[in-house]
Structure 1
């Protein structure tokens, strides 16, 4: 095996996750998608934004990060 800098890429196969949200949360997510579109000039569906939002939330949660290690 050769010694290269780039590590083996992690598993990237998407996993389908179905969740139910309240009508209020659904509206807030749609509003967020609209603000995202205004900010970046590109429309993204909520289904594309939610995974990034969840990853950002988990990455910023110090309590979770500390217990995960």
Structure 2
């Protein structure tokens, strides 16, 4: 089994996204989906459905983003 950063993709409500990808990134996204499908009980995964979890994972593991995000949050109100 290949160790990927993403696990199985949750069957969630689809979201429509329109963007332009470089051809090389699109090919890699398709390859990633194929590998993930093989490792997830052989279920094929739509490559487009990987975009959101990949972005979520990227932002969740970006320490600089987390620090900047927490610095911009207002302090909780004291009651």
State TM-score, norm by structure 1.
0.72
How many equivalent residue pairs? Answer: 57
- Determine the C-alpha separation between the residues in 2 that align with 1:19 and 1:66: 28
Q: Which runs of 5+ in 2 are unaligned?
A: 1-12, 71-79
CA RMSD of aligned residues (A): 1.8
- Determine the C-alpha separation between the residues in 1 that align with 2:16 and 2:53: 14
Q: Partner residue of 2:29?
A: 29
State TM-score, norm by structure 2.
0.64
Higher RCO (C-alpha under 8 Å, 6+ residues apart): 2
Q: Which runs of 5+ in 1 are unaligned?
A: 1-12
Alignment of 1:1-69 (within 5 A): 16-41=16-41, 42-69=43-70
